[in-house]
Structure 1
Amino acid sequence: MQIPPLPDGHTHDGPAPRTAGLEEVRRLLAGRGVAVLSGAGLSTESGIPDYRGATGSRRRQPPMTYQDFVGSEESRRRYWARSHAGWRTIARAEPNAGHRAVEELRRSGHVTAVITQNVDGLHRAAGTPDAVELHGGLDRVICLGCGRTSPREDLDVRLSALNGAARDTGAHVNPDGDVELPDALVENFRIAPCAACGGILKPDVVFFGESVPKPRVERCFDLVDAARALLVLGSSLTVMSGLRFVRRAARNGTPVAIVNQGATRGDAFATATVSLPLGATLTALAEHLGAAPTTR
């Protein structure tokens, strides 16, 4: 199959190019029964920045931890002020060619499971309703008091009514939708309680310092164990929440292929590594395998 072009400034020349594994990725997909593990790099073409890699966006401040969020109203005010300012970036994002190709491969039976580390909901938006969102989803809010979940859009309306145009002042959007804001805007931001019980609202995502629910982790292990191969897309595998599935597959003797722009922490476990743009690469793979296009 034809190799898609690399980003500007890159070539296929030089020692040990990371495009040599592309045929192995195609072979694994052709055998069907592949589980996909996707990371932030799959969503960069949708306008959502990544923390690492060629399109990475480094934070100027550390991310909110679960302990900080539940520990003080000041921390919750800071989180919601910055998250509210960046929410429209996430809400406006649409699935890109990579998400659509994954769904095409799933519908054609080449991919049998999708696990994502992303919280942007773009796999669901592309038509993959059973994608396991390892770290939850930003489009949902949960009350820490009564456990009620509600749409993020409902909270967005309430926060806009309380704070006016505060969302438009941020310049630097982080990959989780949070925006760098002046201290004065954070201090004056008004947060909204749960509409049902008045409790503390939290995005339905796993914060730093918080554990992924055990049943969700076990579900992902089951999917990896049942797969003939594991295909990692757009993840540096820096954090253990994703790397553990690569290690599990390797321990089971399951082939692991990685498509990511740049080296990853899981490369030593991989039978194939590819450094190419995800949208074009996955689209070419789907077309080569005869996967039927999804409805756009």
Structure 2
Amino acid sequence: MEELKQWMDESAYTVIFTGAGISTDSGIPDFRSPGGLWSRLAPIDFRDFMASDEMRVETWRRKILLDQEIGKPEPNKAHSVISQLVGEGKVHKVITQNIDNLHQKSGLSADKVIELHGNGTFAKCTSCNKQYQIDVIKEQFKRDNLAPVCACGGYIKSATVSFGQSMPPEAMQAAEEASLACELFIAVGSSLKVFPAAGFPLLAKQNGAKFVIVNRDETDLDGYADMILNNEISDVFAFLTEN
């Protein structure tokens, strides 16, 4: 870990890429694991959501159940340290696969966080992109048991990227630019299985950046890494801020 601290000191531009593993210490389970939430509350494909009012109702029913199970998670030590490192200028961008808003809740400004899969803490119209407070929409749904509809006539869903839905082009471009600009790319808590998101560390590596993986388990990209730390994520980041 001492070498990672040295690499961070030497890097003129560092990117941190986060996956579900960084949020498990905040009480958010890994949805994809056996017995995880998705085995009981499987996400509904975006095409089905758009095609069927029944599926739109079911999507909101599952969203409410999911949020009830997760509760009100708070940032953990790793989120807080990353926010500190950004504030000190040691980390320049955070690319995340997570939809939990915990990086922003830890103090990171929105312009420092690139959300590849959207954000589940607010809702958005699929037609005009108007944003809605998620709690207001959920209360409306629980009262009427009707799928919410925007004033423009479009369908409202949580502002996440569903299966079958296109990745957000602005976020993808921003992530590509950050990956190409960096000298050090640190992937944290991601299995690095899900593409196109998992392509960004490879892009950085191919462009000459050092590639570090911090994850409890093996990942699909271990063979490309310059350093692998199979430690507890919070322990690694606590060490990075020690004098």
Shared fold per TM-score greater than 0.5: yes
Q: How many residues align?
A: 239
Residue 38 (structure 2) aligns with: 59
Indicate the residue corresponding to 1:36 in structure 2.
16
In the alignment, structure 1 residue 155 sits paired with structure 2 residue 134: no
For residues 154 and 71 of structure 1, do their structure 2 counterparts lie closer, same or farther at Cα, with a shift above 3 Å needed?
same
Question: Is residue 202 from structure 1 mapped to residue 182 from structure 2 by the alignment?
Answer: no
Letter in 2 for 1:48: I
Matched, 1:142 2:119: no
What are the superposed Cα offsets for residues 215-252 of structure 1, whole Å, 9 maximum, x if unpaired?
22111111111111000010001111321101101111
- Residues 272 and 56 from structure 1, CA distance in 2 versus in 1: closer, same or farther, beyond 3 angstroms? farther
1:94 aligns with 2:49: no
Tell whether the 8 Å contact from 2:60 to 2:147 is kept in structure 1 after alignment. Answer: no
1:122-151 superposed Cα distances (whole Å, 9 cap, x missing partner) = 000001122111111011211124331111
d(CA) in 2 for partners of 1:56, 1:44: 15
Greater radius of gyration (CA): 1
Task: Find the counterpart in structure 2 of residue 251 from structure 1.
Answer: 206
Give the aligned partner of residue 6 of structure 2.
27
State the match for 2:91 in structure 1.
111
Instruction: Look up the equivalent residue of 2:45 and give its one-letter code.
Output: T
Output aligned runs, 1:1-296, within 5 Å. 22-32=1-11, 33-51=13-31, 57=36, 59-60=38-39, 62-90=42-70, 92-129=72-109, 130=111, 131-162=113-144, 190-288=145-243
Deviations 1:159-203 (A, max 9, x none): 2333xxxxxxxxxxxxxxxxxxxxxxxxxxx13423524431111
Q: Which has the higher contact order (CA 8 A, sep 6+)?
A: 1
- Contact 2:53–2:147 (CA<8 Å) still a contact in 1? no
Give the root-mean-square deviation of aligned CA atoms: 2.0
Q: CA deviation at 1:111?
A: 0.6
| Per-residue CA distance 1:77-100 (angstroms, 9 max, x = gap) | 221111112224556111011100
Give yes or no for contact 1:80–1:191 (8 Å, CA) kept in 2: no
Quickly say closer, same or farther: Cα 1:59–1:139, change in 2 above 3 A.
Answer: closer
Distance 1:120 1:48 in 2: 9
TM-score w.r.t. length of structure 1: 0.75
- TM-aligned CA distance change 1:100 to 1:48, over 3 Å: same
Asked if 1 retains the 8 angstrom alpha-carbon contact of 2:43 and 2:59, the reply is no
Structure 2 length normalisation: TM-score?
0.91
Moved more, 196-205 or 109-118: 196-205
Offset of residue 56 of structure 1: 7.8
